[in-house]
Chain A
Amino acid sequence: MPETGAPTRVLDPIARLQRRRHALYGWMLLAPALTLLTLFAFLPTAATFWASLHSRGTARRPSVFNGLENYLDLIHDPNFWTVVGNNLLYAGVTIPLSIALALVMALWADARLPLRGFVRGAYFTPTILPMIAAANLWLFFYTPGLGVIDSFTGLFGLPPVNWLGQPQTALWAIIVVTVWKEAGFFMIFYLAALQTIPPDLKEAAQVEGAGRFTYLRRVLLPLLMPTTAFIFINALINSVKLIDHLFILTKGGPDNATKLVLYWIWEMAFSYFDPARATALTVLVLLVLGGVAVFQFTIVEKRIHYR
């Protein structure tokens, strides 16, 4: 072969064939997932985005392209801000609360205690219950006058409260159900993570004079950070995604007090038949969640993982 100064790598035919085969295998392995994702995730997302740029069509007036008008329309709707506010409060309370509760329960269930299996099972029960069933259960708890809560407070002579029926308490009642439902699920992740932490570390810390609290703060919590980040993302997504219980408990009322973003989207799309605004709001939600995912995979992952 003539010596050329060019730094092009000349591959042996066998190596070239081998590489092609590898690439082919790669695409073949990727194909099923790619097909399904395209069909059920990428295409609908693109379609949603396209639809969000069109006006609401009626029998007499077909839908036309109207740019960002749907978005402006949304932003000028006071309901939009109520719903976003509701959802922010809902997320701001349920996420830290369910994570903290999950951690406490996991530490408790990981300790050497009698009936450990029972404790773990009990904590996990809410997770295996479908949300609809759980909501029905809580509906029974919250029933004014007759429900478990009012029966209990009644013992102390307190008046019955319509927990789900008044705007001041309704969202908080929903928050309680969500935390109850999610904490058990997140506990499982913490429990699994705790089991991968070698007991030596605890003993080493103990010998160095670290008490339980110091061990928790200086060793356990940092080592659980990757799990916490994972749970946090899940909790964040759930705070947008999980609305099953609203259908049973409040239907977004009273006076929009418990209306969350996804419930409102569902309402606009299937009760008011307003796909224009529904798709616009969907795109906004996707943008926010996508932004969070990018943040998670770039900055958080790099800072938290210690290996």
Chain B
Amino acid sequence: MNALSTTGDFVRLHGVTRLFEGGGGVDDLSLAIPRGGFTVLLGPSGCGKSTTLRLIAGLETPDRGRVEIDGRDVTALPPSARGLSIVFQSYALFPHLTVAENIVFGLRVRHVPRAERDRKLKDALALTGLEGLDARKPAHLSGGQRQRVALARAIVADHPLCLMDEPLSNLDAKLRHSVRQEIRALQRRLGMTVVYVTHDQTEAMGMADHIILMRQGRIEQQGTPAALYQAPASAFAASFIGSPPMTLIPAELAGVPEPPQGHARARLMAGVRAEALRLQPAGTGWLEATVVASEFLGAETFVYLQIEGGPQLIARVPGRIDPAPGTAHSLSWAEHATHWFDRDSGRSICAGAGPRTNAESQPAPQTAAPPAA
């Protein structure tokens, strides 16, 4: 299998458009997916992630544009000729076939000799930890086991490209976490190129080498998880990525630091990450705010605050603090931790915030305000 050694782009879309009659779809999409990498298509529900995946797979035909896989124009080829496998959200297991029969379905269709089939089945079962379950029907498996059967079916064919459409969305939160790592490890071991669709940004941040953030059928921003987190290209990206999302504050609010040269306050939004916010005694910071509630999460506390004449926001404070609801505080943050966005277009201004912001914001000596009397 061609592993990480060969670099370059494995999948390319050139100006691909697929619009549906009732609206929706993808519009003039161009993207490149690096070979051997784990690329995540991220975006809110209905933004066209599945459509993009189906276009790559050949389950949808583009109205316009070309699809290229491994340097080959596959726009006119059926899915089976594109050398890829898919893990569906519903897993799409054949309910009348056993686990083993499900996994080797494609091999049998392609008349792979029996000995080879059995060997590959054994490997796939071992890789996905499904040994001993091979004679069961899907109805007698747990959700996590079904998910692994779908995964085994995808890897048994040895295709260099694997497409996954929200494969974890039917699992409970705890299982999702461990399966995430399993999938990632499997991808690394087999050197597959994976395109993974999700609307869950924590999943994307945790798994991806490369994130393609989509919105309404177009690409909003793409890059490494760190790049998207540290330098969101738009207010949408800023509020979609990160948990809790970045707070956006109208820039004309008194107390917000001076915007970059040549920009009117009234046309800007200031964005600050929750962990960059510092909680100070009332009157000593930039913005006055009242505590609404707080959530203790173990290693940190989320403090929900209401800015006077502004939005509600969340400050992420390390350790445990117990601010009583209703107490007044003051907020401040390192000046270079401010992200500026144009209020109308949502685009980022002065993207030079750079990777420094995060380094600054994480171990910042945040001073938790003493609980008011």
Residues of A at the B interface (CB closer than 8 Å) are 198, 200-201, 203-210, 214, 218-219, 222-223, 225, 306-307
* Chain A residue, CB-CB nearest to B159: A207
Shortest 10 CB-CB distances between A and B: which pairs? Answer: A208-B106, A209-B80, A200-B92, A204-B92, A306-B96, A222-B96, A207-B79, A210-B109, A307-B139, A209-B109
- Which residues of the partner chain B approach A223 to less than 8 Å between Cβ atoms? 94-96
- Which residues of the partner chain B approach A307 to less than 8 Å between Cβ atoms? 95, 137, 139
* Contact of B80 (CB < 8 Å), options: A201, A208, A225, A306: A208
B110 within 8 A of A: yes
- Which residues of the partner chain B approach A306 to less than 8 Å between Cβ atoms? 95-96, 137, 139
Give 12 new A-B contacts, CB below 8 A, not counting A208-B109, A306-B139: A203-B59, A203-B86, A204-B86, A204-B88, A204-B92, A205-B109, A207-B57, A207-B84, A207-B86, A209-B110, A218-B105, A225-B96
- Which residues of the partner chain A approach B88 to less than 8 Å between Cβ atoms? 200, 203-204
Bound Cα distance A219, B102 (Å): 11
* Chain B residue, CB-CB nearest to A209: B80
A206 touches B94 (CB 8 A): no
A200 touches B80 (CB 8 A): no
- Of residues 13 to 70 in B, which have CB atoms within 8 Å of A's CB atoms? 57, 59
Determine how close the nearest CB of chain B comes to the CB of A258; give it in whole angstroms. Answer: 41
- Which residues of the partner chain B approach A210 to less than 8 Å between Cβ atoms? 80, 105-106, 109
* Chain A residue, CB-CB nearest to B165: A200
Bound Cα distance A198, B106 (Å): 18
Bound Cα distance A92, B25 (Å): 52
- Which residues of the partner chain A approach B371 to less than 8 Å between Cβ atoms? none
B59 touches A206 (CB 8 A): yes
B352 within 8 A of A: no
* Chain A residue, CB-CB nearest to B108: A218
Known A223-B96, A306-B96; judge A207-B85 contact (CB<8 A): yes
* Chain B residue, CB-CB nearest to A208: B106
Bound Cα distance A306, B139 (Å): 8
- Which residues of the partner chain B approach A209 to less than 8 Å between Cβ atoms? 80, 106, 109-110
* Chain B residue, CB-CB nearest to A206: B79
Bound Cα distance A134, B109 (Å): 45
Known A203-B59, A207-B80, A306-B137; judge A219-B106 contact (CB<8 A): no
List 25 interface pairs A-B (beta carbons < 8 Å), by A numbering: A198-B90, A200-B92, A201-B92, A203-B59, A203-B88, A203-B92, A204-B92, A205-B105, A206-B80, A207-B79, A207-B80, A207-B85, A207-B86, A208-B80, A208-B105, A208-B106, A208-B110, A209-B110, A210-B105, A222-B96, A306-B95, A306-B139, A307-B95, A307-B137, A307-B139
Bound Cα distance A200, B153 (Å): 14
Determine how close the nearest CB of chain B comes to the CB of A63; give it in whole angstroms. Answer: 55
A214 touches B96 (CB 8 A): no
A201 touches B78 (CB 8 A): no
Chain B 127-160: CB-based contact to A (< 8 A → 1; otherwise 0): 0000000000101000000000000010001000
- Which residues of the partner chain A approach B95 to less than 8 Å between Cβ atoms? 223, 306-307
Bound Cα distance A208, B137 (Å): 19
Bound Cα distance A306, B85 (Å): 26
Chain B 89-128: CB-based contact to A (< 8 A → 1; otherwise 0): 0101011100000000110011000000000000000000
* Chain B residue, CB-CB nearest to A203: B59
Residues of B at the A interface (CB closer than 8 Å) are 57, 59, 78-80, 84-86, 88, 90, 92, 94-96, 105-106, 109-110, 137, 139, 153, 157
B92 touches A214 (CB 8 A): no
Bound Cα distance A201, B96 (Å): 12
A214 touches B109 (CB 8 A): yes
Determine how close the nearest CB of chain A comes to the CB of B11; give it in whole angstroms. Answer: 15
Known A209-B80, A223-B95; judge A200-B109 contact (CB<8 A): no
A219 touches B110 (CB 8 A): no
Determine how close the nearest CB of chain B comes to the CB of A302; give it in whole angstroms. Answer: 14
- Which residues of the partner chain A approach B110 to less than 8 Å between Cβ atoms? 208-209
Bound Cα distance A154, B110 (Å): 52
* Chain B residue, CB-CB nearest to A307: B139
Determine how close the nearest CB of chain A comes to the CB of B247; give it in whole angstroms. Answer: 40
Determine how close the nearest CB of chain B comes to the CB of A206; give it in whole angstroms. Answer: 5
Bound Cα distance A201, B153 (Å): 13
- Which residues of the partner chain A approach B137 to less than 8 Å between Cβ atoms? 306-307
Determine how close the nearest CB of chain B comes to the CB of A166; give it in whole angstroms. Answer: 47
- Which residues of the partner chain A approach B94 to less than 8 Å between Cβ atoms? 201, 204-205, 219, 223
- Which residues of the partner chain A approach B59 to less than 8 Å between Cβ atoms? 203, 206-207
Bound Cα distance A207, B243 (Å): 36
Bound Cα distance A306, B101 (Å): 14
- Which residues of the partner chain B approach A219 to less than 8 Å between Cβ atoms? 94, 96
Bound Cα distance A71, B96 (Å): 45
Bound Cα distance A214, B105 (Å): 11
Bound Cα distance A50, B59 (Å): 66
Bound Cα distance A208, B79 (Å): 8
- Which residues of the partner chain A approach B79 to less than 8 Å between Cβ atoms? 203, 206-207
* Chain A residue, CB-CB nearest to B54: A203
Bound Cα distance A225, B59 (Å): 27
- Which residues of the partner chain A approach B153 to less than 8 Å between Cβ atoms? 208
Bound Cα distance A219, B79 (Å): 18
* Chain B residue, CB-CB nearest to A225: B96
- Which residues of the partner chain B approach A198 to less than 8 Å between Cβ atoms? 90, 92
* Chain A residue, CB-CB nearest to B106: A208
- Which residues of the partner chain A approach B57 to less than 8 Å between Cβ atoms? 207
Determine how close the nearest CB of chain B comes to the CB of A111; give it in whole angstroms. Answer: 17
- Which residues of the partner chain B approach A203 to less than 8 Å between Cβ atoms? 59, 79, 86, 88, 92
Bound Cα distance A101, B79 (Å): 31
Bound Cα distance A207, B94 (Å): 14
Determine how close the nearest CB of chain B comes to the CB of A223; give it in whole angstroms. Answer: 6
* Chain B residue, CB-CB nearest to A221: B96
Determine how close the nearest CB of chain B comes to the CB of A47; give it in whole angstroms. Answer: 45
- Which residues of the partner chain A approach B105 to less than 8 Å between Cβ atoms? 205, 208, 210, 218
